Amino acid sequence: MRNAVFHHQVVAGALVCTALLCGMQSPVLADAYWSGTVSTDWTNSANWVGGLPPTTGENVVLNAGSPYAPVVSTTGNATTGQIYLGVGGGLNIFPGSILSMSDFITGNFGNSGGTIVTGGQMTMSGLLNLGAGGFDGKVDISGGVVQSAALSINSSGGAGMNISGSGKYITDISQLNNVNFWVTNNIIKANNGASGWSVVVDTTTDPTKVMLTAVPEPSVTALTVAGMAMVVLRRLRRR
């Protein structure tokens, strides 16, 4: 590792962190910093400060790109340590790609840009921490899979999760109570909270996991038609 970094820890379901890390204006000492001066390509070393892209286990800060935000569109990327979204910093995960890390943190220093997952896999062996410092830092999953061992959402600054399309979020079964709270309170949304959509909380496909997807709710018309069909079927059976 080129530098040290302070770490978040999850203890008894609560997020514990050092005063320096959780300070609203406090920077994190990392090993690799995104600059985005050449392109959106995560793998292009010219897009990283000093030409040093993250290697295995290193901690990363994704600053607002000048002018490009990072796009991960390939497999074979190094499994990093913690990834922080800086103020205005964002991340895009494209179909066919894989990005793995220990933790992913948004909204720690100020309002983060969006994390947009349209496909591929984004995996955290530890914590997905949205709005860590009370600032905005949303994740939008419209395709692919986002998976983390633990989930924390501080929605006071607008942070949250949106699931739509074929997108899927998976976490450990130990997170079920918190997940249910966030779904009930529309902090985890289906299709940006549009009417007629809901988040399905699935604990049966894999009893060790909580799996979230977005599905359309049956319309009143569809339910009425289905009910009428059942009545007709029952009458036919009586004849």
- Whole-number Cα distances in Å, 8 to 119, 145, 187, 215: 28, 23, 22, 33
Can you tell me the distance from the alpha carbon of 9 to that of 205, in angstroms, rounded to the nearest whole number? 29
Exposed, middle or buried: residue 62 (CB in 10 Å: 0-12, 13-18, 19+)? buried
| Mean pLDDT value across residues 199-204 | 98
Question: pTM of the full predicted structure?
Answer: 0.82
Give the pLDDT confidence score for residue 29 in this predicted structure.
82
Q: Are 71 and 120 in contact (CB under 8 A)?
A: no
Give the pLDDT confidence score for residue 72 in this predicted structure.
98
Confidence of residue 22 (pLDDT cuts 50, 70, 90): very low
For the chain, the C-alpha Rg in angstroms (whole number) is 20
Token pair of 233 as six digits: 């079927």
Can you tell me the distance from the alpha carbon of 223 to that of 220, in angstroms, rounded to the nearest whole number? 5
Of 18-27, 78-87, 152-161, the least confident: 18-27
